[in-house]
Structure 1
Amino acid sequence: MNTAKPESIALFCLTPGGVALAQRLQTALPLTCFTSEKLLQPGFIPFGESFAQTVEQAFSQYSALVFIAATGIVVRVIAPWVNDKLHDPAVVVMDERGEHVISLLSGHLGGANELTRQLAGILDADPVITTATDVNQLAALDTLAANLDATMKDFRLAVKTVNQMLVSKQRVGLWWDTDFSKTAGLYDTRGFIPVNSLDALPELDALVCVTLRAELAELNIPLFKLVPKRVMAGMGCRRDTPPQIVSELLNQQLADNHFDPLALCAIGSVTLKQDETALLALAEKHQVPFKIFSVDQLSEHEQRFPVSEFVRDTIGVGSVSQPAAWLMSDGKLVGSTLKQQGVTITLGVSDRC
């Protein structure tokens, strides 16, 4: 998701007062600061062809944009590039005196609300946040999803529905599967009703379940499954294996271990497979990283697993999928390794994506 990271904040200032404020902020946060040629100071980058053109480039390159400028100017300059809450960067606006910091775009998923509070704290300014859940001092499903590195089916509709139910004071339950129950207290869940067991539900209008499971028991209320991305798939395959075969076998392996496909966080293999069409297509299809490990990295762990001399002679290490999954999941492997049609798949579950 498009959660803002401190190291990828672009700041734009248009006036001498804005430059001075940006210099204050630079002492507290790692910022890439842009301004005009005539206002340029050490540590600042000049606009390219124009202010608007520089913003256009930054919109896709940075996870957060901060403007020291009038809100109207900012609205007009970003308008052509605004897409949706899943992909837009956080956009925050402040006045050059540093009295008000406004969360303008991507408040929850993009992290603009959090960044607004952080900047306001640095400047002792007033944070201006207008999202309904925040105004009502409630948690938001999209913020919880971002903090968990989680996703769900029909994400936009689910978020809209659940957040509206929360601000309407309807009873929305929140159940954490065993893998996540111990860390549930680390997250903002204000407004949700804690549910300890799916077999004994309190009176609810809807239920959000945090789980990796592919299937849950049917309930007589609307159920929204929030799936953290935690499953790592170490993979090996013969050269030029058809993408459809690899995809079908991964789905089979996930199903055999009762994982929701949305739980997939990354796939990994050996360096020799970094240009393997089927694996690249698989990563693109699931929109997950394709992690590459060297022979030396895999060799450090191959003694833990059965090895194939044929694979060793071909690649330089006797096992690929198992040590790759081991490395990605910090040794937390699950199930047995699938070996079919020249494809091997080993799954692991990591604490974080």
Structure 2
Amino acid sequence: MNIAAPESIALFCLTPGGIRLARRLRDHLTLTCYCSESLLEAGFEPFDGTFANSVAQAFDSHSALIVIGATGITVRVIAPLLKDKLTDPAVIVIDERGQHVISLLSGHVGGANALTRYLAGVLEADPVITTATDVNQLAALDTLAVQLDATLHDFRHAVKRVNHLLVCGGRVGLCWDHDALPADARWPVEQCDTRGFIPVTSLAALPANLDALVCVTLQSALPALPLPVYKLVPRRIVAGIGCRRGTSLSLLTELLHRQFATNQLDPLALKAIGSIALKGDEPALQQLSDEYRVPFNLFAASSLREHEHRFPQSDFVRQTTGVGAVSQPVAWLMSNGHLVGDTLREQGVTITLGVAH
């Protein structure tokens, strides 16, 4: 859970003590606070019938839930709502005297552990965190993935295996593949929690007796190595796309995959797609955005004209869109000028890739 997006936090008060704590927390975070009709005051929303109903609604619409009350009642209320550790919101419980802040659900991917530490600092309370990696003062692969906005193939298995190795004293290497990145866009190594990982500076010279290796990379393939390798792929690649009206989703998907393969990039690295504002209602582009679960960014023709001089231009494209090129200036703007490889041009489609910060 990203504390920089506080509007997604719902807080539930069950007692007058909870109301008092909520007032304190609202000085530090923007919260949507709920309570019963009997406790209602300015700045609070009434429960939708019951506490359980309100929690059920917030569970699907907020990235974090804070309950000021007992752990037991919170567990009973959220139990029927649980779906998946990768999608469930963070759930934190605070006792009404503000002595303990408990990370109850989605500690790593959901961000409950980080939010728990923050709230405990605000209240001068004890943070209660029980995830094994945190208890042993170790990093966790899923936490590292969140810090890098990254994912893995078979995420669940990889996280379970690597975190288990770390907790059990296994030797897990961590390699940062900087080669695919511009010099001013390297991985933020110093901002990431890497406790317990063994630094690996070269895949050609691995430390002795490693049990597994995690490699932070955008590459589609790594050299064959004599140990289990888990590829952690940050979402850093943007795709500027131009296309004719009525282009099919299947064609866009095929060409985008081909462009990734040509540049030896993992499709998991896709961060966003973009096009000219004129294409905002193009079904295939909207569907592509939905299929990859990435934003679809649109740019005015006037913004693209400022950069079209950098690229080959087409009179046909200018007559159609008002600008001589689409995919290249879009990718240029989305990546701050860090383009990757050549532009793909085929069947009325152009795709240009870039590396975003």
Q: TM range, normalised to the smaller chain?
A: over 0.9
Q: Which runs of 5+ in 2 are unaligned?
A: none
Matched AA of 2:333: L
Matched residue, 1:199: 204
- Normalising by the residue count of structure 2, what TM-score does the alignment of the two structures yield? 0.95
Identity of aligned residues (%): 64
Pairwise CA distance, 1:3: 4.9
Aligned with 1:92: secondary structure? strand
- Distance, in Å, in 2 between the alignment partners of 1:56 and 1:183 is 37
- Distance, in Å, in 1 between the alignment partners of 2:310 and 2:45 is 51
Matched AA of 2:161: T
Pairwise CA distance, 1:275: 2.1
Residues 284-293 or 141-150, more deviating: 284-293
Pairwise CA distance, 1:310: 1.4
Matched, 1:53 2:53: yes
Matched residue, 2:330: 324
Pairwise CA distance, 1:174: 0.3
- Distance, in Å, in 2 between the alignment partners of 1:3 and 1:104 is 17
Pairwise CA distance, 1:9: 1.1
Aligned with 1:122: secondary structure? helix
Matched residue, 1:90: 90
- Distance, in Å, in 2 between the alignment partners of 1:99 and 1:287 is 40
Aligned with 1:224: secondary structure? strand
Pairwise CA distance, 1:181: 6.0
**Relative to structure 1, is the Cα distance of residues 181 and 300 closer, same or farther in structure 2, using a 3 angstrom cutoff?**
closer
Matched residue, 2:64: 64
Matched, 1:248 2:254: yes
Query: RMSD over aligned Cα, in angstroms?
Result: 1.3
Q: Is the 8 A contact 1:208 1:224 kept in 2?
A: yes
Q: Is the 8 A contact 1:283 1:290 kept in 2?
A: yes
Matched AA of 2:64: A
Matched residue, 2:33: 33
Matched residue, 1:18: 18
Pairwise CA distance, 1:90: 0.6
Matched residue, 2:301: 295
Alignment of 1:159-308 (within 5 A): 159-178=159-178, 179=181, 183-203=188-208, 204-308=210-314
- Distance, in Å, in 2 between the alignment partners of 1:68 and 1:107 is 18
Matched AA of 1:299: R
**Relative to structure 1, is the Cα distance of residues 181 and 206 closer, same or farther in structure 2, using a 3 angstrom cutoff?**
farther
Pairwise CA distance, 1:245: 1.1
The Cα offsets for residues 220-253 of structure 1, whole Å up to 9 and x where unpaired, read as: 1000000000000000111111211111111111
Q: Is the 8 A contact 1:3 1:109 kept in 2?
A: no
How many correspondences in the alignment?
350
- Distance, in Å, in 2 between the alignment partners of 1:142 and 1:182 is 17
The Cα offsets for residues 108-161 of structure 1, whole Å up to 9 and x where unpaired, read as: 011100100110111111100000000000000000000000000000010000
Residues 52-61 or 213-222, more deviating: 52-61
Matched AA of 2:103: S
- Distance, in Å, in 1 between the alignment partners of 2:105 and 2:187 is 33
- Distance, in Å, in 1 between the alignment partners of 2:176 and 2:275 is 32
Aligned with 1:145: secondary structure? helix
Q: Is the 8 A contact 1:10 1:66 kept in 2?
A: yes
Matched AA of 1:151: T
Aligned with 1:133: secondary structure? helix
Correspondent of 2:340 among 329, 334, 337:
334
Q: Which runs of 5+ in 1 are unaligned?
A: none
- Distance, in Å, in 2 between the alignment partners of 1:308 and 1:48 is 58
Matched AA of 1:209: C
Residues 102-111 or 69-78, more deviating: 69-78
- Distance, in Å, in 2 between the alignment partners of 1:29 and 1:119 is 9
Matched AA of 2:163: N
Pairwise CA distance, 1:259: 0.5
Matched AA of 1:169: G
Pairwise CA distance, 1:83: 1.0
Pairwise CA distance, 1:293: 1.6
Matched AA of 2:169: K
- Distance, in Å, in 1 between the alignment partners of 2:55 and 2:333 is 39
Pairwise CA distance, 1:182: 5.8
Matched AA of 1:138: L
